[in-house]
């Protein structure tokens, strides 16, 4: 249903494609220039990292911080509580539909980026089937972590009715610590350790790092263990917080 709804607005396709190309080109330029100047990063690594991000980021996105919060604030959340299935199932379906649609739209920008970087000699991924398999597992774990983080954030709307500023703050924190703005290869050791134990890395950077093929078996194992621990912990935390927060729901707007 979400897929069909989004496809009705075909004029957005061109805008999204252009936005992906501009974002990819800007980040590639900034970090490849930084790698060339500092000499502590491989230009091919950071350029390929941001080209891959075009596809991977679309698979990991969560619309709950916007849509879920809005439903709580306008009272439509009451409808979800009356349905025979958990509202999380509905939110999950909407996310998957949105992500699939945006993934298809992002393919032209990805193909263009891969072609240009290959011609310039910067593309370093050989699409190893084993790494692709691990990457897909990491994408599934990361998407669920992002989904739970978004739903935990949405629970704040039961207490605070002015959520726009908090949503922007949350999105900026998530983007910063997920590796969207700063690739982890550019971080100093202390900051790298801090980011590795936070859940945000596993919502974007970790699958890309796997596909780049520069991780050791030890790093892979540690990454999957930390990601799985966060997935379980966030699910338990969500259940506890929802049980407490739902008592504050006032169903305004209906």
| pLDDT tens digits along 45-101 | 999 999 999 899 989 988 888 888 888 888 888 887 888 888 888 888 888 888 888
The yes-or-no verdict on residue 253 having pLDDT over 60 is no
pLDDT at 240: 95
Q: What is the pLDDT of residue 130?
A: 94
State the pTM of this model. 0.90
Percent of the chain with pLDDT over 70: 93
The DSSP code sequence of the chain is -HHHHHHT-THHHHHHHHHHHHHHHHHHHHHHHHHHHH-SS-HHHHHHHHHHHHHHHHHH---HHHHHHHHHHHSTHHHHHHSSS-HHHHHHHHHHHHHHHHHHHHHHHHHHHHHHHHHTT-------HHHHHHHHHHHHHHHHHHHHHHHHHHGGGGT-S--HHHHHHHHHHHHHHHTSSS-GGGS-HHHHHHHHTSGGGGGTHHHHHHHHT---HHHHHHHHHHHHHHHHHHHHHHHHHHHHHGGG---TT-
């Amino acid at each position: 249903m979400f897929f069909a709804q989004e496809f009705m607005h075909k004029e957005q396709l061109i805008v999204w494609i252009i936005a992906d190309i501009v974002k990819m080109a800007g980040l590639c330029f900034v970090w490849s220039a930084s790698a060339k100047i500092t000499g502590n990063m491989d230009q091919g690594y950071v350029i390929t990292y941001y080209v891959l991000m075009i596809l991977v980021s679309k698979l990991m996105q969560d619309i709950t911080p916007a849509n879920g919060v809005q439903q709580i604030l306008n009272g439509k959340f009451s409808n979800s509580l009356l349905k025979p299935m958990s509202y999380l199932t509905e939110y999950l379906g909407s996310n998957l539909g949105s992500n699939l649609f945006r993934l298809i739209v992002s393919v032209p920008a990805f193909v263009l980026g891969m072609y240009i970087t290959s011609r310039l000699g910067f593309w370093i991924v050989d699409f190893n089937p084993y790494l692709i398999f691990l990457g897909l597992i990491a994408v599934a774990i990361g998407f669920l972590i992002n989904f739970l983080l978004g739903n935990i954030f949405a629970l704040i709307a039961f207490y605070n009715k002015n959520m726009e500023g908090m949503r922007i703050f949350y999105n900026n924190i998530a983007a910063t610590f997920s590796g969207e703005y700063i690739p982890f290869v550019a971080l100093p050791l202390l900051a790298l350790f801090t980011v590795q134990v936070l859940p945000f890395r596993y919502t974007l950077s970790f699958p890309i790092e796997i596909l780049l093929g520069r991780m050791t078996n030890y790093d892979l194992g540690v990454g999957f263990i930390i990601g799985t621990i966060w997935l379980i912990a966030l699910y338990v935390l969500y259940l506890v917080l929802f049980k407490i927060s739902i008592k504050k729901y006032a169903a305004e707007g209906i």
